[in-house]
Structure 1
Amino acid sequence: MAKQKKFILQENEIPTQWYNIQADMKNKPLPPLNPATKEPLKAEDLYPIFAQECCSQELDQEHQWIDIPEPVLDKYKYYRATPLVRAYELEKALDTPAHIYFKNESVNPLGSHKVNSALPQCYYCKEEGVTNVTTETGAGQWGAALSYAAKVFGLEAAVYQVKLSLQQKPYRSMMMRTFGAAVVGSPSMSTRAGKNIITRDPNHPGSLGTAISEAIELATTTPNCKYTLGSVLNHVSLHQSIIGLEAEKQMEMAGEYPDTIIACFGGGSNFGGLAFPFMRHNLLDGKDTEFIAAEPASCPKLTRGEFRYDFGDEAGYTPLLPMYTLGHDFKPANIHAGGLRYHGAGTIVSQLIKDGMMHGVDIPQLESFDAGMLFARTEGIIPAPESCHAIAATIREAIRCKEAGEEKVILFNLSGHGLIDMTAYDSYINGDLHNYTLEDSVIQENLANVPEV
């Protein structure tokens, strides 16, 4: 009998609702706080920054399912459903009894999962009468997705891209400009937050924290402009649940159910997108799937950070969020996985880690690229540096299965392709990349600046 490689859903099988894990969590995420009063925020407190519907979704702990608007579903059909793929050649190369599957979010024209949330965020802004949107981006996957979604719904977009990533990945900013967005390297001299950061550190390479500060400042000082975010927040994970909901149906087609689910981790959007729909069966139905978030060893908030209320940005413009954090002014190393260089974890993931529902693993930079190269040479897809972390964690688990003689089913999220990240692969092949060691003293120094609550 011929082996089936890909499991494909038809357009009419695309889920029509997102899954909200907050409704099913035994211990709900703690509320975000007003930094000045330390009082819990209401949805309307966030209206000056985000689209109102996103604010409602952010704090919704009651509704398990939320309808996907018809115009968003129509745009999803441009690239969804994405394939579930059995990684036969990777299994063979590892000589593992494990069955390895991956959800291939790299196949859409933007190259990553990010557009799953960019489309609804821009739709809700347009419905509200907003004319301009702004955001931050690290590697540029979110910036490209937001630039495209803004154009789809007739909005003007301004993107602050982490300066280091802008230099490392020039083609991503070209993509954004192709879709009509204005792109600025962060920190910049165009905002008060950016000027303050550059004054303190003229050679600051930028971080997602600096870029968020600048984007929020622009949104709150520009008429008819809203801020959009590509990860971390609850409503982003909600929109990304389309990934896991499709994968559920596809795993059923494959006749298997995952024992282990893995995704890379920056703020939590692609991890939550794949993991949360499956995690509901652990919460409600007694399943015992293991969930692993793979983060860079140089930015290890899940394994070495502390659970604290902290700002989501460097300048302290955001509400205080209950998160595992390395400190909001943590300056991450110059790794090529720009989308994972964020100091904190989303509030849902942070609560789930506290409750033992999932755990993080740290992946050194060279191990991540080793894994990406093996995946490219076996499965024929060059993965994004971010996704390489998930592949590395998958390889670790597959090797454990080989050593233990266990035939586990492993599912990971291929969150994006690396075709615009080839300078990173070039550096790796030339031997120019290295691992970064993060001292405990550096983490403690940054955590000392986290506000007391």
Structure 2
Amino acid sequence: MALDSLRFDLSPSEVPTEWYNILPDLPERVPPPLDPRTGEPVDPASLERIFARELVRQETSMERFISIPPKVREAYVALARRPTPLFRARRLEEYLGTPAEIYYKYEGVTPTGSHKVNTALAQAYYNKEQGIERLVTETGAGQWGSALAIAGAYFDLKVRVYMTRSSYKQKPYRRTLMQLYGAEVYPSPSDRTSVGRRFLAEDPEHPGSLGIAISEAIEDVLSDEKARYSLGSVLNHVLLHQTVIGLEARKQLDEAGVYPDVFVGCVGGGSNFAGFTYPFVRDRLKGSSDSRFIAVEPRASPSMTRGAYTYDYGDSAGLTPLLKMHTVGHEYKVPPIHAGGLRYHGVAPTLSILVNHGIVEPVAYHQTEVFAAASLFARLEGIVPAPETAHAVKAVIDLAIKAREEGKRIVIAFNFSGHGLLDLQGYQDFIEGKLSDYEPEELPIHKRLGGS
């Protein structure tokens, strides 16, 4: 096989100049966030106390393409190492004996090892331009926290991170990385906020969740006029920043001479999945493609596969507006799986709409089968997937095996959202047989809605 058929690169000048915004192309309008006190739509201007002004504008913008500021585009090249490469997983194909071709967009080349820096740099830039001095956020496994930490260092902003307590203990080197970049890092629930103290009073060993960490971050922001909140997923402005991934991948797949039959990505809130797939989902929405889109989540937090599509809080303490999304309920105590970035109770409203219309197909896996698939990928392709990314790897392997059984030649592409070199404790637990699988018997959202 020719070497130039295994890797596809772009030059720095080919980094996209615009982000893609899916809102004008969706099959229906996104239901507005609601004020939980009145049940009325939230005035976007009121969100400017929490988010930077330009990010609030992007949240509801109906512009199909939004220009990337020159300073952000420069940071994408200088700091984020964009464009990132596209690889063909030839050894995995041969091992599986499949007629499928497998390609993956490798976001692990960024300094923090994941896709998260794509929106972190954009959010830091807009906050700096507005005169904000400090950013506060949550993080699960630490990819988002470390991305915002390095973005804050790049644009000279202070950063404070509330890290879910289970990940704070499981992944100490993620915490170290954030601190190296100058961020303050606290385990969540913490004793720094009234929200954190409430959850600790209920359970001193509470493993935390992204929902609780979001609540703490927002409470922190509301105590400081010069601080703003940064979110790593779920909201539209975050997802559209990530479309640099898919826009680059389109050029690289053209270079490879293929258009995938199936696109795959893992989902916590939806940012890496949307960033990779939305430019191609647009083709499907326009009727120029019939490709499938597979969204993979953990069975421990099955928002899309078992949750309800309803209004719910974006955080655990009920400080945020209500969002209409697929959710297991903000009261759900997410088990301490190693894929900390997927330990969220809901998914992006835009992604929820695509699931409802059958354009995106959700699947769910246990963490033991996910780690087994990731271990195989590491042996064959040499890159250790992050536990989150491993969910996509598992789905890709299943698709390739099915193609073999059916004798069907298909092209599969997935977003390799991050490497797992700072997640090796999870792999050690897998090797030693210490991993447990979790699947809720009952979900809070069904109980609240009176159904099952």
Return the TM-score normalized by structure 2: 0.97
Matches within 5 A, 1:250-265: 250-265=252-267
- Which residues in structure 2 correspond to 1:230-241 (within 5 Å)? 230-241=232-243
> Which residue in the other structure is 1:70 paired with?
70
Residue 192 of structure 1 is matched in structure 2 by 194
Q: Does structure 2 retain, via aligned residues, the 8 Å contact 1:264–1:293?
A: yes
Measured in 2, the distance between the counterparts of 1:446 and 1:268 equals 20
Cα offsets for 1:400-451 (capped at 9, x unmatched) = 1001111110000100000000111111011111222321xx20x4444479
* Residue 8 (structure 1) aligns with: 9
C-alpha displacement at 1:398, in angstroms?
0.5
1:274-313 pair list within 5 angstroms? 274-313=276-315
- Using the aligned pairs only, state the percent identity: 50
Partner of 1:326: 328
> Corresponding residue for 1:375?
377
Shift of residue 34, structure 1, vs aligned partner: 1.2
- Paired with 1:155 and 1:177, the residues of 2 have a C-alpha distance of 14
Alignment correspondent of 1:19: 20
Equivalent position amino acid for 1:124 in 2: Y
Q: 1:313 to 1:447 in 2, by over 3 A?
A: farther
Instruction: Give TM-score scaled by structure 1 length.
Output: 0.97
How far apart are residue 202 of structure 1 and its match? 2.3
- Distance in 2 (alpha carbons) for counterparts of 1:449 and 1:177: 40
How far is the alpha carbon of 1:334 from its aligned partner? 1.3
Is the contact between residue 244 and residue 274 of structure 1 (CA under 8 Å) also seen in structure 2?
yes
1:86-126: per-residue Cα shift (whole Å, max 9, x none)? Answer: 00001011111000000000011110000000000010000
Q: Secondary structure at the match of 1:77?
A: helix
- Give the distance between the partners of 2:280 and 2:110, measured in 1 at CA: 23
- Deviation per residue, 1:336-393 (Å, 9 max, x gap): 0000010001100011111111111001111100110011000000110000000000
* Mapping 1:195-234, distance limit 5 Å: 195-234=197-236
What letter is aligned with 1:6?
R
Secondary structure in structure 1 of the residue aligned to 2:304: helix
**How do residues 80-91 of structure 1 correspond to structure 2 at under 5 angstroms?**
80-91=82-93
Q: Is the 8 A contact 1:82 1:105 kept in 2?
A: yes
Of 330, 335, 338, 1:336 maps to 338
Show structure 2 runs of 5+ residues with no match: none
The CA distance in 1 between the partners of 2:225 and 2:448, in whole Å, is 33
Q: Would the aligned equivalents of 1:327 and 1:450 in 2 still touch at CA under 8 Å?
A: no
**Is this contact kept in 2: 1:256–1:409, CA < 8 A?**
yes
**Structure 1 gaps, min length 5:** none
Given that residues 310 and 450 in structure 1 are in contact (C-alpha distance below 8 angstroms), is that contact kept between their aligned partners in structure 2?
no
1:36 offset after TM fit, Å? 1.1
2:362 pairs with one of 345, 354, 360: 360
Greater shift, 115-124 or 200-209, is seen at: 200-209
Deviations 1:266-294 (A, max 9, x none): 00000000010000001114311100111
Partner of 2:95: 93
> Residue type of the partner of 1:34?
D
Q: Distance in 1 between matches of 2:395 and 2:203?
A: 35
Instruction: Tell me the distance in 2 between the aligned counterparts of 1:307 and 1:127.
Output: 37
Q: Is the 8 A contact 2:234 2:270 kept in 1?
A: yes
Moved more, 35-44 or 425-434: 35-44
Mean Cα deviation higher: 205-214 or 195-204: 195-204
1:3-152 matched pairs, under 5 angstroms: 3=3, 4-60=5-61, 62-78=62-78, 79-152=81-154
Secondary structure of 1:101's counterpart equals: strand
Tell me how far 1:38 sits from its aligned partner.
1.3
Matched, 1:345 2:353: no
Q: Which amino acid aligns with 2:36?
A: P
For the residue of structure 2 that corresponds to 1:109, the secondary structure is: coil
Given that 1:54 and 1:235 are in contact with CA atoms closer than 8 Å, whether structure 2 keeps it comes out as: yes
CA contact (8 A) 2:115 2:272 kept: yes
C-alpha contact (below 8 Å) 1:309/1:450 kept by paired residues: no
The answer as to whether partners of 2:307 and 2:445 remain within 8 angstroms in 1 is no
Distance in 2, Cα, partners of 1:327 & 1:2: 50
Distance in structure 1 (CA, Å) of the matches to 2:390 and 2:362: 15
Q: Is the 8 A contact 1:230 1:269 kept in 2?
A: yes
Q: 3-state DSSP class of the match of 1:410?
A: strand
